[in-house]
Amino acid sequence: MLYRNPCDAVDLPRNVRQEMQALSPEQAKRFLSAAAENEQGIVFNFALATGMRPEEYLALKWSDIDLDKGAATVQRTLVWRKGGGWYFGEPKTPRLRRTVPLPASLVRSLIAHRRSQAEARLKLGHDYQNNDLVFAASEGTPHNLRNLTHRHFRPVLTKAGTAKDGEQQSEINELWPEKLKKIRVYDLRHSCATLLPAAGENPKVVFERLGHASIVLTLDTYSHVLPSMQQAATEKLETILFAGTGTR
* Residue 133 reports pLDDT greater than 90: yes
- CATH of residue 131: 1.10.443.10
Residues 44-65: tens digit of each pLDDT: 999 999 999 999 999 999 999 9
Residue 91 lies in a domain: yes
* Residue 247 reports pLDDT greater than 60: no
Residue 3 lies in a domain: no
Alpha-carbon Rg of the chain, whole angstroms?
22
Say if residues 207 and 98 touch (Cβ distance below 8 Å): no
Domain count across the chain:
1
The pTM is what? 0.82
Cα 124–112–70 angle (5° rounding)? 125
Say if residues 67 and 107 touch (Cβ distance below 8 Å): yes
Residue 2 lies in a domain: no
Residue 1 lies in a domain: no
Whole domain around residue 124: which residue ranges?
21-162+172-242
Residues 193-213: tens digit of each pLDDT: 888 877 877 878 888 888 887
* pLDDT level of residue 31 (50, 70, 90 thresholds): very high
